[in-house]
């Protein structure tokens, strides 16, 4: 990293790339991420590719992503400054090793959730099964450290997840938790785990190393605004969840 370069904190999915179904038919596509079988799972548009290359040349770019370390390893872009992963539960060093100090700090934050998260995941899937909603879900983790729960629908619609969330909340299962929703993605996160908390820690260390410098934040989700608000400037893709929410607020 360089004191003379701005720092860019950048969300990945639906900011720098997205699935093929979210792109116009026949558009130019550049592979950006892959699934566990090696099949392409995310694509950049021509504009996204040019934007990424511009950021890569002019800034110290750090991903801030919900992806765990394994899922981040399947993003084939030239990041060299480490990453903030698992909604902030995990910091990766520039060599992509796990930052041991942050891992230990999060162990304290997440201690009381280690048994609760698998139980919460099972409860969410059971709620779906009771109503004939096909769901898949899992606990995101690193090693033995459980981070948060992800739930997705298999062949339904996003409103199914909204209903499942209502039922989870009605059953009193979200005490000391917070929620991230965006499309076919429902994340149930422990209190104290967020991109914002991790970015606060990261920026403090960066300032100690490099002094104050311009910080740019980019993200697509309403919950990304938590870490973007810590930056000097921030931006969101057109028609993103965050952009739509802002437009709705302006027109209200």
Domain boundaries, given as residue ranges, for the chain: 7-89+194-251, 112-190
Q: Which residues contact 63 (CB under 8 A, 6 or more apart)?
A: 10, 11, 12, 72, 75, 79, 83, 84, 85
1 pLDDT band, cuts 50/70/90, is low
Strand partners of residue 187: 150, 180
DSSP 146-163: EEEEEEEESSS-HHHHHH
Calpha distance 229→51 (Å, rounded): 21
3 pLDDT band, cuts 50/70/90, is low
158 pLDDT band, cuts 50/70/90, is confident
Q: Indicate the pTM of the whole model.
A: 0.94
pLDDT per residue as tens digits for the range 7-35: 999 999 999 999 999 999 999 999 999 99
Q: Which fold has domain 112-190?
A: 3.30.980
Question: Which of the residue ranges 48-52, 142-146, 153-157 would you say has the lowest mean pLDDT?
Answer: 153-157
Calpha distance 81→59 (Å, rounded): 10
pLDDT per residue as tens digits for the range 64-79: 999 999 999 999 999 9
Q: In terms of CATH, what superfamily is 7-89+194-251?
A: HAD superfamily/HAD-like (3.40.50.1000)
Strand partners of residue 145: 142
Q: Which residues contact 111 (CB under 8 A, 6 or more apart)?
A: none
252 pLDDT band, cuts 50/70/90, is confident
pLDDT per residue as tens digits for the range 33-46: 999 999 999 999 99
pLDDT per residue as tens digits for the range 50-64: 999 999 999 999 999
């Amino acid at each position: 990293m360089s004191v003379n370069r701005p720092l860019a904190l950048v969300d990945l999915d639906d900011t720098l790339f997205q699935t093929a179904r979210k792109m116009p038919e026949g558009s130019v596509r550049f592979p950006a991420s892959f699934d566990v079988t090696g099949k392409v799972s995310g694509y950049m548009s021509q504009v996204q590719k040019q934007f990424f290359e511009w950021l890569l040349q002019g800034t110290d770019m750090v991903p801030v992503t919900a992806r765990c370390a394994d899922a981040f390893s399947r993003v084939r872009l030239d990041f060299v400054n480490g990453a903030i992963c698992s909604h902030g539960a995990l910091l990766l060093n520039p060599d992509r090793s796990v930052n041991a100090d942050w891992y230990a700090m999060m162990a304290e934050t997440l201690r009381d959730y280690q048994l609760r998260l698998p139980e919460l995941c099972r409860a969410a899937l059971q709620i779906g099964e009771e109503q004939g909603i096909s769901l898949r879900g899992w606990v995101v983790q690193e090693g033995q450290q459980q981070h948060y729960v992800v739930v997705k629908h298999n062949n339904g619609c996003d409103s199914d997840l909204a209903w499942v969330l209502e039922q989870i909340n009605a059953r009193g299962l979200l005490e000391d938790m917070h929620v991230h929703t965006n499309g076919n993605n429902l994340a149930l996160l422990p209190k104290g785990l967020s991109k914002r908390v991790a970015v606060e820690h990261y920026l403090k260390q960066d300032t100690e190393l490099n002094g104050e410098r311009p910080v740019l934040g980019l993200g697509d989700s309403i919950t990304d605004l938590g870490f973007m608000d810590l930056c000097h400037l921030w931006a969101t893709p057109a028609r993103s969840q965050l952009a739509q929410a802002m437009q709705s607020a302006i027109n209200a």
